[in-house]
């Protein structure tokens, strides 16, 4: 944010800085002048003035007022063309943070000025907050290069009428009105046509209400509908719907270009056609090929115009709008004229069939010329020659020709005939119900006759899909939000008024067309029965060419607008960074024009042109627009129902029920128009959604979907806490206790791999870590550790949460994690940690003591415990273990964890090929055969596939090896205690020396006489060392003598015997297994034997590679019941 110094004159008596002080140019207030004079020393200087500025202060003038410097901040320049959260409330530039606060009134808050600006500064920014149009960043950069020539950005000045109403009117009224509405009325009838119009207009009106609520809920930067949807529903929905809206706008450009070419080749210059059909049945294909060629040329021309400069498109916008308005006015004028003088557009009928009037002038079979009866051109179309006796078509012979007035006018009561629908298959002849017809049996030659026929099969849902594009364009106002004087006022009023106006135009046009034009002419899509005139043009006044030329330029303008708007929409999506592969389309020319996006738009537009049929393209873009409108309604409904604090629209005439109705209507219309196009559009949107979810950049926009997730999570957590989970629903909710090194890097990432393999993405995973210290000093390290753990979780594909705790010691930190991790019903029930492999080499006994205390706490909390030994040798998620076994040594029953864990592991690809083996231990008095049968039956009921083996453990005498191993263990423990005691004594002696030296210095400085109590200070340093060494030697001799004379504790001998025998059996049976699961013995109740407990576990696990010690949580976790 730029800074400036403004010289402000003040009254005399106010202090000025002395020269040489305050080199930064900011003036402080020195003490007042004791003399009370009106002038001060002329030595004061004012710094910070820009070169070339005229000063209002002359130091030589004794009467001049003294200037001071007032420190001002220029407002931020927002609107860099990227639709992101630019807000004067929350964002400051780096320059802001560098400014120091020099005032005294608010000195109490000066340390907070960097993050919390003063209210005056905030209001200054807010008053100058502007929205620039997309591409403004490049404009600003170009302007910066110009230096002093930089011009201030003009504030937007467009009002409701020019900024919203007219653009919406121009976008809504277009090609369908001029080219297809008469055909829709004739085919569907007035009643069903009104139903179509009301259905589509209701959909857009409800969407406009929802859009108005969203648009008035804060400032909407340039980006329009995409910005609204993405910020309301999140980046995934925003990107998916934004791209759908982009595709809809692009295909709309195709539709308008096809409409332009259809008008050009059918009604303006039919002779310009390149492909001419030699046979009647080839006419449709020839027309499509002409559309493809001319459409491609037109698209290239329009793309060049858009590339050269949008300003030319904007300059022509009013011309195109005038064409639309004049065309509509000419329709109403023509309708009024039919009351008094209907236009003369006769339709030639053969029987009750309508004929194409291209190749004949008179609707007669024969005519008399110079008293001779001769055949007409029409005769030659149905007969094999011009002779009167030539063989003719049977239907031509049996039926008469009739001239019917195509536009009988309002007084003709033709409205009653046009009330009902006339649907039919492709090739069905357009027939009149008013005339009689003598049918014939053979109709095989009819396709070669000049009849007016249906070029496509017609039905109600098809007509809905074709008509719906004529009500799109309601977003034109919101797309221009950056150019509006008051967008929050103009968008709702202008959009709703435009929809109301166009709805009135469509409804009246449906009724008036049905009341003025004959049904056979209405169903004549291309006006073949009236010499190729545009049907709606035959009704207009003063000439059909008014409508033809007006609709031509209207379609041209709409096509240019689509080719202008679609690339900018794609550029906005690309610049948001939510779809990585679209990044290239965010770049453009130096002035911000989206060159690459324009090329992609033209390429997609060409696909629509190659389809070549206006009736086939219209339903495609209907799908994309309907999906966009659906999510606008969903966004409004969600925000209303969730009642988020930021949802405060100025537009009050909305309700969640209206939004849901609009959403339902959109969804219904999608499937009404075309169910297969609807499915394709949904699949495209879903693919984009999932792509953004997995690959896109994470954005936090405070969207409604996130709010919905929070509400759903809160509801689910409350429900979960009502009762503990049933055994059938039990699954390990894991708290992973992870350690980090000095650089906060993860020590054992394979713990996360094991978690992923165990969970397969299901259930709760909390990865916890404890840092030793205080939170105030370790804040940065905690954040770094959390970031590193999250990165490791992402690399190992571990889905869960990270929780880093700073505690005064590791012991308390792990205790806090075990007690408080999780929330409500989503708390962990299992703790996973690594075996402290270096506990013997560690000088600090606290490492293994922390481990044992953690075991005790998990037992007290009724949590299951998993301890992985040699965890770094466990497989990664990319490994695939071959044929092998997972061996379970089931010694004691602890709730079934040992059975459940192998089953869960084998669900993952890493362990899928491994087989499960269960070993259990039988004593001398156990029936091992019966035990095996019972265990097999138990596994059968558990639906687990596993091999069962019962290992007999005989009551052998305790071997000398076991006795010796126990003795060595106890001697080592005693020696460690002696070493620890010696270390403690040394620390105490050092402290004693320090205290005595301090006391001696105090005695020297004390002038008072020293009494006899100071005698012990006569010890010399040599005497002290001699006495200390003598005592140490005596103690050491006693300790060594005790070590050699000690006998092992019988309880320890028995425990060591169990560990040795169990280890022999496990190594014998399972040394080659991929994984061994083993019951973990509990720690001793007497804490004095903790170190021996670690030794027992080491002996138990000796010689095994991958081991998972399992300790149950005291509840059943697996059941035989369904």
- Quick one: pLDDT at residue 205? 95
Q: Are 212 and 654 in contact (CB under 8 A)?
A: yes
Closest C-alpha among 1121, 176, 1111 to residue 619: 176
User: Whole-angstrom Cα distance, residue 1093 to residue 1086?
Assistant: 11
Which two structure tokens, joined as six digits, stand for 163?
């900024």
Q: Is the peptide bond before 128 cis (omega within 30 degrees of 0)?
A: no
User: Whole-angstrom Cα distance, residue 287 to residue 275?
Assistant: 7
- Quick one: pLDDT at residue 1113? 74
User: Whole-angstrom Cα distance, residue 589 to residue 595?
Assistant: 6
Q: Write out residues in the chain with pLDDT < 70, as ranges.
A: 1-157, 220-225, 280, 480-483, 590-592, 696-707, 722-729, 760-761, 843-844, 954-1051, 1088-1089, 1114-1117, 1119-1122
Residue 5 CB neighbour total at 10 angstroms: 18
- Quick one: pLDDT at residue 602? 94
Strands 864-869 and 1107-1111: antiparallel
- Quick one: pLDDT at residue 148? 43
Closest C-alpha among 93, 86, 90, 80 to residue 1: 93
- Quick one: pLDDT at residue 609? 93
User: Whole-angstrom Cα distance, residue 439 to residue 822?
Assistant: 82
CA 381 to each of CA 115, 385, 410, 890, 962: distance values in angstroms, whole numbers, following the listed order: 87, 9, 35, 97, 117
Closest C-alpha among 892, 953, 919 to residue 1082: 892
Q: How many helices (H) and strands (E) does the chain have?
A: 33, 17
Q: Is 688 helix (H, G, I), strand (E, B) or coil?
A: helix
- Quick one: pLDDT at residue 70? 42
Question: Sign of dihedral through CA atoms 515, 517, 522, 525?
Answer: negative
CA 626 to each of CA 203, 428, 453, 567, 933: distance values in angstroms, whole numbers, following the listed order: 9, 31, 31, 20, 65
According to DSSP, residue 453 is labeled B
CA 869 to each of CA 746, 751, 834: distance values in angstroms, whole numbers, following the listed order: 17, 10, 6
Closest C-alpha among 295, 174, 346, 183 to residue 610: 295
Half-sphere exposure of 402 (CA within 13 A, CB side): 17
Write out the H or E segment, with its range, that includes residue 949. strand 947-952
Name 802's bridge partners. Answer: 767
Residue 75 CB neighbour total at 10 angstroms: 16
Half-sphere exposure of 124 (CA within 13 A, CB side): 11
- Quick one: pLDDT at residue 806? 92
User: Whole-angstrom Cα distance, residue 13 to residue 115?
Assistant: 36
Which two structure tokens, joined as six digits, stand for 823?
């929330």
Question: Sign of dihedral through CA atoms 7, 13, 15, 20?
Answer: positive
User: Whole-angstrom Cα distance, residue 793 to residue 756?
Assistant: 9
User: Whole-angstrom Cα distance, residue 469 to residue 178?
Assistant: 13
Which two structure tokens, joined as six digits, stand for 981?
């005691």
According to DSSP, residue 868 is labeled E
User: Whole-angstrom Cα distance, residue 420 to residue 197?
Assistant: 15
Q: What is the mean pLDDT of the chain?
A: 77
User: Whole-angstrom Cα distance, residue 566 to residue 557?
Assistant: 14
Which two structure tokens, joined as six digits, stand for 769?
């870590």
User: Whole-angstrom Cα distance, residue 239 to residue 705?
Assistant: 14
User: Whole-angstrom Cα distance, residue 354 to residue 357?
Assistant: 9
User: Whole-angstrom Cα distance, residue 1083 to residue 1111?
Assistant: 11
Q: Are 1056 and 1099 in contact (CB under 8 A)?
A: yes
């Amino acid at each position: 944010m730029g800074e400036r110094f403004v010289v402000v004159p003040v009254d005399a008596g106010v202090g000025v800085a002395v020269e040489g002080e305050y080199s930064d140019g900011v003036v402080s207030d020195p003490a007042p002048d004791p003399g009370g004079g009106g002038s001060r020393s002329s030595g004061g200087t004012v710094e910070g003035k820009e070169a070339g500025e005229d000063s209002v202060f002359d130091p030589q003038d004794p009467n001049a007022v003294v200037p001071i410097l007032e420190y001002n901040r220029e407002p931020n320049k927002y609107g860099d063309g990227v639709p992101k959260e630019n807000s004067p409330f929350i964002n400051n530039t780096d320059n802001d943070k560098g400014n120091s606060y020099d005032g005294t009134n608010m000195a109490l808050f000066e340390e907070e000025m960097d993050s919390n600006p003063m209210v005056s500064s905030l209001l200054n920014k807010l008053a100058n907050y502007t929205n620039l149009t997309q591409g403004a960043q490049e404009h600003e950069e170009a302007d910066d290069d110009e230096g002093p020539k930089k011009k201030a950005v003009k504030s937007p000045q467009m009002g409701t009428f020019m900024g919203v109403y007219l653009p919406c009117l121009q976008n809504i009224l277009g090609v369908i009105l001029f080219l297809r509405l008469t055909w829709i009325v004739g085919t569907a009838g007035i009643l069903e046509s009104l139903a179509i119009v009301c259905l589509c207009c209701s959909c857009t009106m409800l969407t406009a209400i929802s859009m108005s609520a969203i648009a008035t809920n804060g400032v909407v930067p340039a980006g329009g509908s995409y910005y609204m949807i993405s910020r309301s529903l999140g980046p995934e929905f925003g990107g998916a719907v934004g791209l759908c809206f982009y595709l809809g706008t692009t295909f709309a450009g195709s539709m308008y270009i096809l409409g332009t070419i259809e008008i050009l080749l059918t009604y303006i210059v039919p002779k310009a056609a390149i492909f001419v059909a030699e046979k009647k049945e080839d006419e449709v294909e020839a027309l499509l090929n002409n559309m493809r060629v001319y459409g491609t040329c037109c698209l290239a021309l329009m793309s060049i115009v858009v590339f050269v400069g949008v300003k030319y498109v904007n300059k022509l916008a009013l011309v195109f709008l005038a064409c639309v308005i004049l065309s509509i006015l000419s329709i109403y004028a023509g309708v009024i004229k039919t009351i008094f003088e209907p236009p003369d557009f006769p339709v030639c009928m053969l029987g009750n069939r309508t004929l194409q009037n291209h190749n004949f002038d008179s609707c007669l079979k024969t005519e008399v010329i110079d008293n001779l009866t001769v055949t007409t051109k029409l005769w030659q179309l149905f007969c094999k020659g011009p002779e009167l006796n030539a063989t003719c078509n049977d239907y031509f012979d049996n039926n008469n020709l009739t001239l019917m007035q195509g536009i009988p006018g309002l007084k003709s009561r033709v409205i009653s005939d046009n009330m009902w629908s006339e649907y039919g298959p492709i090739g069905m002849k357009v027939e009149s119900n008013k005339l009689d017809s003598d049918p014939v049996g053979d109709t095989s030659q009819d396709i070669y006759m000049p009849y007016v026929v249906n070029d496509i099969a017609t039905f109600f849902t098809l007509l809905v899909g074709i008509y719906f594009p004529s009500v799109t364009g309601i977003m034109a106002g919101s797309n221009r939000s950056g150019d509006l004087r008051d967008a929050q006022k103009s968008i709702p009023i202008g959009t709703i008024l435009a929809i109301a106006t166009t709805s009135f135009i469509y409804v009246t046009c449906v009724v008036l067309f049905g009341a003025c034009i004959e049904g056979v002419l209405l169903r004549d899509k291309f006006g073949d029965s009236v010499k190729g005139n545009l049907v709606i043009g035959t009704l207009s006044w003063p000439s059909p060419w008014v409508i033809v030329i007006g609709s031509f330029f209207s379609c041209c303008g709409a096509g240019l607008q689509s080719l202008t708007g679609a690339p900018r929409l794609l550029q906005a999506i690309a610049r948001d960074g939510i779809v990585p592969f679209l990044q290239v389309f965010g770049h453009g020319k130096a002035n911000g024009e989206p060159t690459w996006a324009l090329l992609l738009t033209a390429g997609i537009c060409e696909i629509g042109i190659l389809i070549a049929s206006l009736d086939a393209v219209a339903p495609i873009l209907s799908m994309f627009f309907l999906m966009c409108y659906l999510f606008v309604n969903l966004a409004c409904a969600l925000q209303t129902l969730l009642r988020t604090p930021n949802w405060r629209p100025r537009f009050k005439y909305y309700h969640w029920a209206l939004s849901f109705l609009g959403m339902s209507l959109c969804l219904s219309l999608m499937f009404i128009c075309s169910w297969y196009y609807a499915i394709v559009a949904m699949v495209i949107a879903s693919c984009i959604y999932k792509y953004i979810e997995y690959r896109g950049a994470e954005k936090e926009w405070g969207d409604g979907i996130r709010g919905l997730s929070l509400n759903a999570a809160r509801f689910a957590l409350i429900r979960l806490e009502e009762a503990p989970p049933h055994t059938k629903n039990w699954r390990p909710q894991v708290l992973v206790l992870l350690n980090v090194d000095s650089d906060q890097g993860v020590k054992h990432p394979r713990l996360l791999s094991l978690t992923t393999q165990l969970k397969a993405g299901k259930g709760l995973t909390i990865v916890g870590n404890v840092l030793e210290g205080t939170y105030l000093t370790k804040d940065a390290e905690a954040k770094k550790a959390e970031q590193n753990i999250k990165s490791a979780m992402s690399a190992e594909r571990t889905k869960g949460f990270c929780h880093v705790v700073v505690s005064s010691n590791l012991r308390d930190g792990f205790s806090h994690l075990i007690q408080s991790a999780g929330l409500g019903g989503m708390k962990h029930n299992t703790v996973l940690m690594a075996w402290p492999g270096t506990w013997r080499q560690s000088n600090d006994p606290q490492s293994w003591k922390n481990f044992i205390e953690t075991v005790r706490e998990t037992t007290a909390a009724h949590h299951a415990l998993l301890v992985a030994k040699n965890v770094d040798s466990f497989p990664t998620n990319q490994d695939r273990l071959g044929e092998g076994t997972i061996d379970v040594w089931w010694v004691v029953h602890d709730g079934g964890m040992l059975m459940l864990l192998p089953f869960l592991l084998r669900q993952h690809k890493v362990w899928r090929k491994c087989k499960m083996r269960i070993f259990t231990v039988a004593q001398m008095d156990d029936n091992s055969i019966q035990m095996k049968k019972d265990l097999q039956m138990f596994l059968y009921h558990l639906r687990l596939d596993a091999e069962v083996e019962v290992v007999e453990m005989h009551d052998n005498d305790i071997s000398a090896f076991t006795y010796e191993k126990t003795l060595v263990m106890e001697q080592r423990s005693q020696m460690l205690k002696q070493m620890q005691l010696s270390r403690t004594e040394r620390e105490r002696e050092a402290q004693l020396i320090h205290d005595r030296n301090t006391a001696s210095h105090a005695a020297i400085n004390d002038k008072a006489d020293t009494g006899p109590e100071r005698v012990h200070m006569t010890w010399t340093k040599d005497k002290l060392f001699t006495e200390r060494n003598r005592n140490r030697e005596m103690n050491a001799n006693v300790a060594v003598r005790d070590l050699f004379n000690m006998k092992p504790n019988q309880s320890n001998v028995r425990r060591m015997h169990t560990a040795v025998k169990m280890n022999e059996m496990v190594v014998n049976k399972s040394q080659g297994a991929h994984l061994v699961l083993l019951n973990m013995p509990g720690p001793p109740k007497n804490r004095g034997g903790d170190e021996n407990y670690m030794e027992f576990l080491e002996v138990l696990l000796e010689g095994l590679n991958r081991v998972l010690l399992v300790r149950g949580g005291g509840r059943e976790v697996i059941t035989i019941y369904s």
